[in-house]
Structure 1
Amino acid sequence: MSRRFSVRFLRALSAIALATTVALGGASPAAAAPPAPPGVTRTDVINYFAGLTGRNWLSGQQDGPNSNPTQWTNKVRDITGLFPGVWGGDFGFSQNDIDNRQRVFDQAKAAWAAGSIPAITWHACVPLVATCNFEGGSWPVKGSWLSDSQWNELVTDGTPLNTSWKRRLDQTVPYFQQLKDAGIPVLFRPQHEMNEAWSWWGGRPGANGSRKLFQITRDYLVGKGFDNIVWVWNVKDLAGKAGSVGDYYPGDSYVDLVTLDVWVQYFPSNDWYQAMQNISHGKPIALAEVGRTPTPAQLAAQPKWTYFSVWMDWLIKPEYNTNDGVKATYYDGRVLNRGEISIPTGSQPGRTGPITGVGGKCVDVAGAGTANGTAVDLYDCNGTAAQRWTVGTDGTIRALGKCLDVTGQGTANGTPIQIWDCNGSGAQQWQSLGTGQLRNPQSGRVLDVPGGSTANGTRLQIWDANSNAWQRWTLPA
């Protein structure tokens, strides 16, 4: 029996047992537990997603309406016997949505306690009106539009419309405060699909366009002290528009996760997959909205997505999904569902000491230099600080206060290794494999000694994984 088949088989048996237990009114077979211990931070969550890159995917489901924020995650359970790893809610904009926001955030807390990561979207009304409704058509959100002059007023600090938007943001504060007080990090996706003009906030490229409102939103809520928000930037897979995605990107300092909504196609085209990697600059990427549950084969073909989230009732639309298709993905051994997420926290100690490789030589910071860009090489072990590495639970490997880094976010064979200021990018993420290799998920390649040379000063690189001894490393105990 293959490992993948055995994992799927065991998951299917567990799911059947869970479904039977639920049907009989019993408790879940395993005690619920949050995805991370107390003290987890936003940075811990970001690093966790970075570590998933190229390795695993979290399942996800958008739920609603706000009056029933478990309707579609329960349907996932009915189909698979499992719950999604990412639970999605929405602030919403109708009066009914607003009246039931507390239900949404009660469920966000319950989802976290049960082992899922909460994710919140916001279909917001233009700040000229108190409520609005989604009605479809070419102008789907009734009463929500701004002229160019009104938009310029909105994104200009201190103007009446700008102030009105900040008062609208104030409505979110009590809810985010509840999560912060409970120690719960949350994925927040404001101004989603900002590259399309169906929404009043979308379809405006450039520095003072849609991305400016994202920047204003983030700055305002961060200024309120919400260090538990993971900032999710989002665009839609518009045909022929992958090349213009940069016109909407608010900048690396504003974005934690880079996400795509897939509605033009069932699964991202290669040009969109590449565009999202390019704009992310090594940050984790994900599918924030899909209609069809991605198949295991599709996820394997585009392995750098870190989660997907099926949009509400699309889960059961026959032109998008079948029960067997949903099961196949949830049961795949690489897909992580509720209860299978374990986020390490930065408070956990790392392992510190030398990293040894081919010929018994040590991984070494050349000349014990501390400048960004200093080469990392192979050298006789000498016990100095230049060879004392801390293998962190956040996926980093550090020496001399810097991080082991793939030069220039490179992904090609032969890209050299250096040290650089730690910045949370994919160029600084490393996974210790059972083979003894150290893998950089962003590139999909492993730490390598060129040609297996054992000469002092041989600079390390990344290379395709193979069976050569010079890709095997012994880490600190």
Structure 2
Amino acid sequence: MNKSIFNLLLSLTLLSFISCKAKGAEEPVISPADPVEVLPNTPFKTLNYLYRISGKKTMAGIHNREPNATPARWTNEVFTVTGKYPALWSGDFLFQAENINNRQLMIDEAKKQWKQGAVVNIMWHSCNPALNEPCAWDDGKGVLSKMTDAQFNDLLTEGTTVNLKWKKMMDDVAVYLQQLKDSGVEVLFRPLHEMNQGKFWWGGRPGINGTAKLYRMTHDYMKNTKGLSNLIWVWDMQDFGTLKADLDSYNPGAAYWDVAALDIYDGSGYTAAKYKAMVDIAAGKPIAIGECEKLPTVQQLLEQPKWTFFMGWSELQFEKNTTAEIKTLHSAPNVVMLDQMKGW
């Protein structure tokens, strides 16, 4: 093409473009196929991860119940059965003399699991502060003992004997949680679990001044007094028929928890009603299956994708599910195992 003709055409094109812009012509808008998802940016890598997988994938987890002398026993059993380790490891501060004395072994395992890329969950079956520690499980003086209304009121009253005993017990476990903080380990902390479960000394007290108030007091002491900024607070309930009402009656307030968990034991399984109740109360925060004996199926997790993790209960997972069921679930594409975790 002649150079002068080319320049003329170019000039005309530019003039046409400028004219259109001057008349307010709109440029075509390109819409992305998938809208950008805006997720909360919390101070916790673990919690941010839960937000990212919510609605997409579910982490496999298992609890390692006593003895604390072997704090990875059931995690290792998952590997034996499936050939892979679960993405979530869970331990317990526990209540018997032997296990209290071996809390350091449990904490050392938590550090190890974190370094391997696992999510760390710790719960606390605690002794009744109105009685003695160490304690048993159900001899009338242990975890399943009862607390009178007067004792519970004293527990919540600053400076009483029971109140100071509870603080001393919290001080004892805070030493270990501080170790984890110093090592950069974030903890899904799940104290006073199954708050609507009346069998535990702390549970079964609905209303603003009931178990929820004890949870708030525990939260404030650990966070503000002890300075444990590495704790991600898990508010945990059990799947009784009264669940929908219980979620309101036992809610300590959204400012006091980061993850809402439900323990599945009532026999009716993973119903749509339970799932909806948890999604509704969470109001956008992550939800999880805090404990279970019968594992969810792959299809159930596809239908209820906002469960960010499930945590099988130690030996019950292997008693209530066949080997084939365990293998199928833990190899599913929507279930996250440890080998898929990228590390912290």
TM-score range (shorter-chain normalised) is: 0.7 to 0.9
Q: Which residue of 2 aligns with 1:312?
A: 314
Q: Is the 8 A contact 2:125 2:143 kept in 1?
A: no
Question: Match for residue 253 of structure 1?
Answer: 255
Q: How does 1:333-372 map to 2 (within 5 A)?
A: 333-342=333-342
Instruction: Describe how 1:411-426 pairs up with structure 2 within 5 A.
Output: none
Find 1:130's aligned residue among 124, 129, 133.
133
Question: 2-side partners of 1:195 and 1:284: how far apart?
Answer: 20
CA distance in 2, matches of 1:71, 1:153: 39
Q: Distance in 1 between matches of 2:244 and 2:173?
A: 32
Report matched runs for 1:86-101 at 5 Å: 86-101=88-103
Q: Is the 8 A contact 2:44 2:186 kept in 1?
A: no
Deviation at 1:156? 1.9
Q: Distance in 1 between matches of 2:258 and 2:159?
A: 27
Provide closer, same or farther for how the CA distance between residues 42 and 340 of structure 1 changes in structure 2, counting only shifts above 3 A.
farther
- Tell me which residue corresponds to 1:322: 322
Deviation at 1:135, TM superposition (A): 3.4
Instruction: Name the CA distance, whole Å, in 1 between partners of 2:162 and 2:52.
Output: 41
Give the secondary structure class of the aligned counterpart of 1:102: helix
Displacement of 1:158 in angstroms is 2.7
Identify the residue that residue 237 of structure 1 maps to in structure 2: 239
Distance in 2 between residues matched to 1:244 and 1:76, nearest whole Å:
33
Distance in structure 2 (CA, Å) of the matches to 1:228 and 1:64: 23
| Long gaps (5+) in structure 1 | 1-39, 345-477
Q: Which has the larger Rg?
A: 2
Secondary structure at the aligned position of 1:171 is classed as: helix
Q: Distance in 2 between matches of 1:287 and 1:142?
A: 23
Task: Identify unmatched segments of 5+ residues in structure 2.
Answer: 1-40
SS at 2:150 equivalent: helix
Distance 1:143 1:187, change over 3 A: closer
In the alignment, residue 137 of structure 2 is paired with which amino acid? F
The question of 1:264 aligning with 2:287 is answered no
> Cα gap change, 1:141/1:271 in structure 2, threshold over 3 Å: closer, same or farther?
farther
1:2-33 CA-to-partner distances (Å, cap 9, x unmatched) read: xxxxxxxxxxxxxxxxxxxxxxxxxxxxxxxx
Q: Is contact 1:90-1:104 (8 Å) kept?
A: yes
> Does the 8 Å CA contact 1:121/1:188 hold for their aligned counterparts?
yes
8 A contact 1:115–1:338 mirrored in 2: yes
CA distance in 2, matches of 1:111, 1:45: 13
2:270–2:296 Cα contact (<8 Å) kept: no
Cα deviation for residue 152 of structure 1 reads: 0.9
Contact preservation (8 Å) 1:116, 1:338:
yes
Deviation track 1:311-338 (CA, whole Å, cap 9, x = no partner) reads: 0101221xx1011111111111111111
> How far apart, in 1, do the equivalents of 2:296 and 2:329 lie?
7
SS at the partner of 2:311?
A: strand
1:148 aligned residue: 149
AA matched with 1:135: D
SS in 1 for 2:340: coil
Shift in Å at residue 70 of structure 1?
Answer: 1.2
Question: How far 1:127 moved relative to its partner?
Answer: 0.9
2:161 maps to 1:160: yes
Q: Which amino acid aligns with 1:324?
A: A
Q: Tell me if structure 2 keeps the 8 A contact 1:299–1:305.
A: yes
Higher helix proportion, which one?
Answer: 2
Letter in 1 for 2:312: V
CA-based RMSD of the aligned residues comes to 1.9
Contact 2:186 2:232 in 1 (8 A): yes
8 A Cα contact 2:178 2:228, kept in partner:
yes
**Shift in Å at residue 160 of structure 1?**
2.3
1:42–1:228 Cα contact (<8 Å) kept: no
Q: Comparing both chains, which one has the higher relative contact order based on Cα–Cα distances under 8 Å and sequence gaps of 6 or more?
A: 2
Paired residue type of 1:218: H
Residue 45 of structure 1: how far off its partner (Å):
2.0
Deviation at 1:59, TM superposition (A): 0.3
Q: Where does structure 1 differ by over 6 angstroms across 4 or more consecutive aligned residues?
A: none
Distance in structure 1 (CA, Å) of the matches to 2:299 and 2:262: 19
How many Å apart are 1:143 and its aligned residue? 7.2
Q: What is the identity, as a one-letter code, of the residue corresponding to 1:68? A: T
Report the Cα offset of residue 67 of structure 1. 1.6
* Number of corresponding residues: 301
Aligned-pair identity in percent equals 38
Written as runs of structure 1 = structure 2, the 5 A alignment for 1:166-177 is 166-177=167-178
1:344-374 deviation per Cα after TM superposition (whole angstroms, max 9, x unaligned): 8xxxxxxxxxxxxxxxxxxxxxxxxxxxxxx
1:87 touches 1:118 (CA, 8 Å); kept in 2? Answer: yes
Alignment check: 8 A CA contact 1:237 1:268 kept = no
Is the CA contact (8 Å cut-off) linking 1:153 and 1:161 kept in structure 2? yes
* Alpha-carbon distance, 1:189 to partner: 0.2
Q: 2:229 aligns with which of 227, 230, 255?
A: 227
How far, CA to CA, are the matches of 1:106 and 1:293 in structure 2?
Answer: 28
1:262-315 superposed Cα distances (whole Å, 9 cap, x missing partner): 111263322221111121121100001010221111111111110000001012
> Which secondary structure state, in structure 2, belongs to the residue aligned with residue 134 of structure 1?
coil
| Whole-angstrom CA distance in 1 between matches of 2:167 and 2:141 | 24
Provide closer, same or farther for how the CA distance between residues 309 and 212 of structure 1 changes in structure 2, counting only shifts above 3 A: same
